[in-house]
Amino acid sequence: MSKKKKINWATYIRLLGYVKPYKGRLLLGIFFGFVTGGSIFGLLTQTASVMGQVVGNDEQVQSVSRYVVQKADETDLEILVENRENEQGEYQEQVFKGEKLDVVDVVSVDQSKRKEWDEKVAKIPLFLRDFLEKKCGLELQDPISGEPTGAILIIGAFFLMIALALKSIGTFFNRYFMRWVGLRVVADLRAKLFAKLMNQSMEFHNSEEVGEMMSRCQNDTGTIQSAISENIGQLTRSPIEIFSVVGFITWFSIQNDLTGILIFLFLGMPVFLLPIFALGGRLKKYAKKTMQQIGNVMVRMQETLSCVRLVKAYNMEKYEKNRFEDSNNRFFKLTMKSKRYELLLAPMTEAAAICFAVIFLIYSVIEGVTFDKIAALGIAANLAYKPFKSLTKIQANIIKTVAASERIFEYLDMDYEIKEKAQVTALPSFEKEITFKDVCFSYDGQQTLKNVNITIPKGHFVAFVGEAGSGKTTLVNMLARFYDIHEGSISIDGADIRDISNKSLRNLIGFVDQVTTLFNDSVKYNIAYGVEGADDEKIQQAAKQADVTGFIEDKEEGFEFNVGTGGTKLSGGQRQRVAIARAILKNPPILVLDEATSALDNVTEQLVQEAINQLMDDRTVIAIAHRLSTVKDADCIYVMDKGCVAEYGSHEDLLIQNGLYARLWNTQFKETES
């Protein structure tokens, strides 16, 4: 097998490292695994004892000795020798003799066996002997020979019941604790993965497909969940069960002088592992490809459903259906290839087990092993088969688990986070100015900001305008540290934002974007989002200022009205007003307006603009605008071009300069006139 096809045990061990916080329950599960294994050993020993009683063996005691002799006239005469108990409780041998005869055949009583049986019966718990002999009136031994009677089967059955009960209890609690640990580990892993994704910068989120992230959070963790919850239990229980069976086979073989059988069994058992080595590599290969493909399916589905309006507008439903079916069919084919090898493991293991059993029977018969011993070893081998079979399934599950874990750890190990310094300070308020000094930034190897130097005094209204891709939005994203600075610095009141905690920095900034993001929850929830301890009175006051109450009053549920996924139950203007109410409630000293009204019609824009004007009072406002008419009253307008500040000044100053701003203004003014 090539190196690539081997299981990456380091990945699996790392995954199991998440079990450590729950080692108490893990140890309980392992303990009950030992209970299960121990009960199997007891079950086998009692079964062997019962088999010996039912089937019998060649060392049974005879209660009567028989001599067959031949007289002088060549006629046979049978002489009986009886062992009877006398008044003192001792055994007496009485022989009925005739004339001197020649002995032809002798079957004698083995007195040593009597003592052996007595010793074995004496080991039976006293309460059981008293119960069977005194309460039930049963004899455990033949009164003459000491040979155990059928009543011994009752004792064997009693211990069998105890062993079975212990096995059932042990199995239940072993599975319960192990599955609890498995499910808890996966829940922790999913939470850590989600937290990791939340902490990544916008640089990562802009480059990664949402469907791919969802696939890893949902499908890959689901694969691990179904596998690890079963694997941990089986990995602790199955080996213990196998060791119990191996222990019994070793003990039983030594007790009955079956060393040759013992060697044969141990040399032959590895045949069960052949299917695992034969199919494991291919199973891993297709398991990983399957997970990658389901990620592609999720990406295709999420992308198409998000753009369903565009799809319908251009009559592309059939094309998108075909494209999705192609991706889905590739997933189906890869899944079936993976399943083919996974499903082959069990029948190939069974076939190997049957072949081994047949060879074992032939070898036992050749060696002259009696039926009761073959039966005892056969039952033991059968009990070992199930955990062996479970281990083959575990192999398949481990392969899939490792493949899924590698994809998850790829996310957990990535480093796109905006890391805070070890010692950061909180900035409770904004008092003076925001300064951009020689700021540079590159994205995917392309420089988007070049030596930007800007100062924004507190209380000023500044705007950034320019063509698409000129770096306007990148500037405000860097101010909030959605992206980190590559060169230069940004400071607030003289403090570099990299020395300020991200939480306190973002508490100072409020956003109203062109594309309003609303959660599938109530209007109240969306207004209060991110504002801790907001009471109903403040929420309603913010809603009134943003003119949200104007359309909420028409809803029967009022502020509890669910806005739908992404706010689809509201119009564009209504969504913007909810976003403005959210910003009013947050009450940040710095307000960022990113094309806040560009997607609205003229009437709606006027309503929203009125709400924005209220929001802008007594705040430092940074506006990104496409419609220059919305920012002509700004204290300072910065015109961006290819990542640089091409010119800046008031609306009137820029028109006088007759530069890029003037050309943009004239272009828009002519469009408005036409």
**Position 143 pLDDT exceeds 70:** no
Q: Which helix (H) or strand (E) holds 435?
A: strand 433-443
Average pLDDT over residues 149-157: 66
Q: Where are the alpha helices (DSSP H) in 439-500?
A: 472-479
Segment of 307-321, 328-342, 391-405, 467-481 carrying the highest mean pLDDT: 467-481
| pLDDT tens for each residue of 581-614 | 888 888 889 988 887 666 556 666 676 677 777 7
pLDDT of residue 153: 64
**Position 657 pLDDT exceeds 50:** yes
| Residue scoring higher pLDDT (346 or 631) | 631
Query: What is the token pair recorded at 514?
Result: 């062109």
Average of per-residue pLDDT values in the chain: 76
Q: Which of 447, 480, 473, 455 is nearest to 648 (CA)?
A: 455
CB contact set of 423 (below 8 Å; sequence gap of 6+): none
Residue intervals of the chain classified under CATH 3.40.50.300 are 460-470+502-673
Between 393-397, 491-495, 530-534, 568-572, the lowest mean confidence (pLDDT) is in: 393-397
Give 554's pLDDT tier (boundaries 50, 70, 90): confident
Quote the pTM value: 0.65
Helix axes 371-412, 23-55, angle to 10 degrees: 160
Residue intervals of the chain classified under CATH 1.20.1560.10 are 3-55+155-412
Average pLDDT over residues 620-633: 86
| pLDDT tens for each residue of 304-340 | 766 666 676 667 778 778 888 888 888 888 878 777 7
pLDDT of residue 59: 40
78-96 burial: b if 16+ Cβ within 10 Å, else e = ebebebeeeeeeeeeeeee
| Residue scoring higher pLDDT (218 or 491) | 491
Cross-strand partners of 141: 148
Q: Are 244 and 37 contacting, i.e. CB atoms less than 8 angstroms apart? A: yes
Q: Are 91 and 83 contacting, i.e. CB atoms less than 8 angstroms apart? A: yes
Phi, psi of 104 (to 5 degrees): -100, -45
Helix axes 9-16, 371-412, angle to 10 degrees: 80
Phi, psi of 393 (to 5 degrees): -65, -40
Residue 257 CB coordination number (10 Å): 8
Q: Which CATH architecture has domain 460-470+502-673?
A: 3-Layer(aba) Sandwich (3.40)
Q: Which of 346, 403, 350, 10 is nearest to 227 (CA)?
A: 403
pLDDT of residue 647: 92
Average pLDDT over residues 498-505: 88
Residue 5, judged by CB atoms within 10 A of its CB (0-12, 13-18, 19+), counts as middle
pLDDT of residue 415: 76
pLDDT of residue 323: 82
Choices 3.30.450.40, 1.20.1560.10, 3.40.366.10, 3.30.2130.30: CATH for 3-55+155-412 = 1.20.1560.10
Amino acid at 194: F
Q: Are 124 and 140 contacting, i.e. CB atoms less than 8 angstroms apart? A: yes
| pLDDT tens for each residue of 515-547 | 777 888 899 988 888 888 788 888 888 888 888
Reduced to 3 states (helix: H, G, I; strand: E, B; else coil), residue 309 is helix
| pLDDT tens for each residue of 367-376 | 777 777 777 7
pLDDT of residue 105: 45
Segment of 94-108, 199-213, 489-503, 545-559 carrying the highest mean pLDDT: 489-503
Report the C-alpha gap between 670 and 666 in whole angstroms. 6
